[in-house]
Structure 1
Amino acid sequence: MLKKLPGDPVSGLVSTTPDTAVVFRPAIVQTPAIVTIVIFAARLVIGLVRSFWRHPIASAVAVTPSTIFSLYGWRLALVVVAVPIALVGPWAITYPKVVLPWIGYRLLAWWRLVWIYRRHWQPVMVVSGLGRHIKGRDYLPRLLRVTCTSWADVVTVKMLDGQAAKDWADRIEHLAHGFGAPSCRVSVERAGRLLLTFPRRDPLAEPLPAVPLPEAATVGPVEIGQTEDGKPWLLKLHGTHVLVAGATGAGKGSILWSAIRGLIPAIWTGLAEIWALDPKLMELSFGRAIFGNRYAADPADCADLLDEAVMVMQERAGRFAGVQRDHVPSVQDPFVLVVVDEIAFLTAYQSDRALRQRISAALATLTTQGRAVGVGVLAALQDPRKDVITIRNLFPDKIALRLDESEQVDMVLGDGARDRGALADHISPVPHQGAGVAYIRLESSPDPIRARAAYVSDEDIRDMAALFEEAM
């Protein structure tokens, strides 16, 4: 039995074979030309208003000379173009940090929006699977805004209803290659909106010299390098524990010694102490004068030093109970930073089982109870697997230097860190290019931060140690 459907009437149609489907031609509704013209005109006006609103400088640069040329001729248009260039040019050369954010980066953002992102938006979205084609219609995420910094493009995107940030994080390589960038990072701006960061260049390509010694005594955060956006890398040591993971030659020593260097004035004034565990006898031995009698290399001595740190922690906890909840560094109760160069050698590769268990128990106690009483742990290792270090989740702040495998990134920084752009396995193995480059996962934020630690040379370490040798 045939049902009446929209389109041509079915009366008079006869099917001689019952199994043959009857095909109906759908009705065609012709839109009046005036309606089409009005729709396109409205879209044009809205697009122009949006462009002027979002890109006033770029719009003025493009429209003003053209308007003057059409009304008054090329001579006046040339003057209008030449005079601002003559005035702004020397100012831009003299004060680039003032001119570039207000004019240069805005013009660059408009050009990148038009020529790179809007031009390739539809094919990249469809091919990567972030767009949807349903019943002959394309549903694409909305490209809202492009802003430029000195080193990257930040693209604001409105996701499709029902999409999640993980859908985009799983396709960072598609996005990077689609828009011609070396990498892509995904972060959530707010519900339904994402920030895609596409680097244009690497601001951390060159090694950084050692940070000057602080003028004032402080227990942190201490400056140890530079982040990707040009700001100082401030490492929090007091009130947290830090785990540093990286392959051989990745630059773990740069982080350890930069942190120690930042505490030198506090050590000198008695507000901080460094307790060093150096089972490899290669890294921390350069600064024995800084550590005094709080230096251990033999595994048994390392265990004794850790037990002593636990005793200090427990004694303070007993005195602070019911009196204060936070530690304030003082000469009587200095901040104690336990630095372990290769923690896996003590917790996994130690042949003496009893000694291994004793060290693991002491480290677990310090990392679970030491923050409130001013005892912190800064530990470095090469292999971040769970069977190598079972307490890695007890470190609130984590740093991933160059790693050998992509799976190790999530082992160090937490699940999903690599999908959000922490490509620690892609850091260059060439020392000049990649040593000290790291991705940071802070307790307060799940988004990884890229930074580079300053290189503290042997001569810098000897100069630091000489300050304490002269006082001994």
Structure 2
Amino acid sequence: MFRKLPGDETRNLVSTTPDTAVVFRPAVVRTPAILTILIFLARLFIGLVRLLWRHPVAVPVALAPGALWLAYGWRWSLAVVALVVVSGAAWALVHRASFSRLLGLRLLAWWRLVWVYRRHWQPVMIVSGLGRHIRGRDYLPRLGKVTCTSWADVVSVKMLNGQSLKDWTDRTDHIAHGFGAPSCRVSTARAGRLVLTFPRRDPLDVPMPAVPLPTVGEVGPVEIGTCEDGRPYRLKVHGTHVLVAGATGSGKGSWLWSIIRGLLPAMAAGLAEVWALDPKLMELSYGRDLFGPCYAATPEDCAELLEAAVKVMQERAARFAGVQRSHVPTVDDPFILLVVDEVAFLTAYQPDKHLRQRITAALATLTTQGRAVGVGVLAALQDPRKEVMNIRNLFPDKIALRLDESEQVDMVLGDGARDRGAHADLISSRPEQGAGVGYVRLEGSPDPVRVRAAFVSDADIRAMVAAYVSMEAA
């Protein structure tokens, strides 16, 4: 009367009499008890070996109190544990930096691995769609090593076969909320391996003072501010073009003046020149003495200054042809950086069509041919739309400060930048927290880097002018 069916066949049953119940009896396979015990012991042994291999220090430390208890009694065990705890607390109080580097962050990483990531890994992967539950079995990406820095958790992951980077970047919000982090950033370690970064706090929420003036006149990467990991951030300006985009009050002036500040000794030595275009008559005019005759404010003067830079570029190209392929700054051929504040006013909002065409043509020529002969462009704008700045793709290096819309992030930094963690639209609008904070995407790296530029005050600019005069006199 009853028929045994495999588990998957029950879904194919069709009953012509709905009132008749279908009785299902699954097939039972009896496994010998000795085989079950052997499998259990093998898995236990492999697990212990893997635990000891992954934690060669933590496992003996955890087992030491039990061994002391068995060998000498609980008093000795308790005394040793108390001594270790007191010594660690004293170490943390006396020299917190070395304690965190050698022990504190390692313990935090182990705790976060056990209590946060391994505990919630299965439900987060399944609910977010990155794992699969098929026929009663979970297929999950493999959780790897967890490393803690002073501000974030860095988690390595092995993707499932057939997954791509886009599968993860499309679900960064799901992953971040699943593990209780404010955001999640995804980067590729190697084929099939990802690195997830979960910030625990924001190390860039406090403004930083202006970077000290360099002592050596060089046009190499200039120090702008600080990265999230606390390291100084240096931006390359020689041999490239840089576009800075951000809403009003996002701190574009901090980036412009920090770059000029880093080039000041090279300017005094004659190895660099800064040509300033300031159509707003507000930002760059405060340090006008630094630029000398290479300063323009009206649209007509801006067009002439840009066309003069094109002539210098073409003259150098004619001299360098067949002699050298890259520019080396000298007093005779210094590096020229054109700083254009609010470039959209010149390329889109300028009512004079003839002037607009002259300016756009000059900027396009400089950004396509200038960097090989030592002529760079640093442009700042508020609106990154294509109809406002149709040559934005000619800038190899781009910086996105606070933006009004999430779509603008990819307009500035390129497709997929926001999915990789460049949440420029979420930067705080409060000046003390978000001014100068931005995401940098360089030509040779697809992963954006979060940086805060130092704040250059009016007093710092006056000091720069005075220092420049004294350097030139010396």
SS in 1 for 2:57: helix
Contact 2:224 2:453 in 1 (8 A): yes
Displacement of 1:218: 1.2
Structure 2 partner of 1:187: 187
Amino acid of the residue matched to residue 391 of structure 2?
A: I
Secondary structure at the counterpart of residue 416 of structure 2: coil
- The residue number in structure 2 matching 1:447 is 447
The answer to whether structure 1 residue 103 and structure 2 residue 103 are counterparts is: yes
Question: Which region of structure 1 is more displaced relative to structure 2, 134-143 or 98-107?
Answer: 98-107
Aligned-residue offset at 1:21: 11
Change beyond 3 A, Cα 1:83–1:21: closer
Distance 1:144 1:468 in 2: 53
Q: Which residue of 2 aligns with 1:262?
A: 262
Which residue of the partner structure matches residue 400 of structure 1?
A: 400
Go from structure 1 to structure 2 and tell me whether the alpha carbon gap of 1:5 and 1:90 turns closer, same or farther (over 3 Å shift).
closer
Distance in 1 separating the partners of 2:103 and 2:199: 20
Structure 1's 4 and 209: CA in aligned 2 closer, same or farther, altered over 3 A? closer
The answer (yes or no) to whether the contact 1:58–1:106 under 8 Å persists in 2 is no
CA distance in 2, matches of 1:218, 1:469: 18
Distance (whole Å) between structure 2 residues aligned to residue 402 and residue 412 of structure 1? 11
Q: Is the 8 A contact 1:57 1:107 kept in 2?
A: no
Aligned partner of residue 447 in structure 1, secondary structure: coil
Structure 2 distance, partners of 1:111, 1:401, is 35
Alpha-carbon separation, structure 2, partners of 1:141 and 1:366: 48
Query: Could you tell me how far 1:87 is from its partner in structure 2?
Result: 4.2
Residues 1:58 and 2:79 are matched in the alignment: no
Q: 1:271·1:334 contact (CA, 8 Å) conserved in 2?
A: yes
Q: Deviations over 1:268-322 (max 9, x none)?
A: 1000000000000010001101101100000110000000111111111111111
The 1:391/1:73 distance shift into structure 2, 3 A limit, reads same
Match of 2:10 in 1: none
Aligned length: 463
Q: Which amino acid is 1:113 matched to?
A: L
**1-structure distance, mates of 2:175, 2:114:** 17
Distance (Å, rounded) in 2 between the aligned partners of 1:106 and 1:60: 15
Cα distance in 2, alignment partners of residues 135 and 120 from structure 1: 21
Does structure 1 retain, via aligned residues, the 8 Å contact 2:5–2:25? Answer: no
2-structure distance, mates of 1:339, 1:26:
77
SS in structure 2 of the partner of residue 409 of structure 1? helix
Q: SS of the residue aligned with 2:198?
A: strand
1:330 equivalent in alignment to 2:338: no
The whole-number CA distance in structure 1 between the counterparts of 2:6 and 2:131 is 31
Aligned position for 1:389: 389
Q: Which amino acid aligns with 1:254?
A: S
Once the 2 structures are TM-superposed, how far is the Cα of residue 324 of structure 1 from its aligned partner? 0.6
Distance in structure 1 (CA, Å) of the matches to 2:151 and 2:302: 44
In the TM superposition, residue 145 of structure 1 has moved relative to its aligned partner by 1.3
1:88-108 residue CA offsets vs partner (Å, 9 max, x unmatched): 444444443333222211111
Residues 232 and 27 (structure 1), Cα distance of their counterparts in 2 relative to 1, 3 Å cut: same
Q: 1:23 to 1:79 in 2, by over 3 A?
A: closer
Q: What is the identity percentage for the equivalent residue pairs of Structure 1 and Structure 2?
A: 73
Which has the larger displacement, 129-138 or 368-377?
129-138
CA distance, structure 1, for counterparts of residue 123 and residue 24 of structure 2:
34
Corresponding position of 1:224 = 224
The amino acid across from 2:144 in the alignment is: L
CA distance in 2, matches of 1:208, 1:51: 44
The 10-residue stretch of structure 1 (79-88 or 28-37) with the greater mean CA deviation from structure 2: 79-88
TM-score, length of structure 2 as denominator length: 0.93
Shift of 1:404: 0.4
- Normalised TM-score (structure 1): 0.93
Give the letter aligned to residue 448 of structure 2. P
AA in 2 matched with 1:395: F
Q: Does 1:73 align with 2:73?
A: yes
| Deviation string, structure 1 residues 66-104 (Cα, Å, up to 9, x no partner) | 332243222211232233344444444444333322221
Q: Distance in 2 between matches of 1:69 and 1:341?
A: 72
Q: Which residue of 2 aligns with 1:378?
A: 378
CA spacing shift, 1:426–1:4, aligned 2, 3 Å: closer
The residue identity in structure 1 corresponding to 2:296 is: A
Kindly state the Cα deviation for residue 358 of structure 1 after the two structures are TM-superposed.
Answer: 0.6
Q: CA RMSD in A?
A: 2.2
Q: 2:35: which partner in 1?
A: 35
Cα 1:346–1:148, aligned 2, differ >3 Å: closer, same or farther?
same
In the alignment, what sits opposite 1:419? 419
- Equivalent AA in structure 2 for residue 325 of structure 1: R
SS at match of 1:459: helix
Task: Name the residue aligned to 1:248.
Answer: 248
Deviations along 1:189-231, whole A, 9 cap, x unmatched? 1111110000111111100110000011111200010001111
2:198 corresponds to which residue?
198
Could you say if the C-alpha distance between residues 258 and 30 of structure 1 is closer, same or farther in structure 2, counting changes exceeding 3 Å?
same
Letter in 2 for 1:447: D
CA deviation vs aligned residue, 1:367-414 (integer Å, no higher than 9, x gap): 111111111111100000000001111111110000000000000000
Instruction: State the match for 1:128 in structure 2.
Output: 128
Matches within 5 A, 1:301-312: 301-312=301-312
Give the residue type in structure 1 aligned to 2:100. Answer: L
Give the distance between the partners of 1:27 and 1:325, measured in 2 at CA.
77
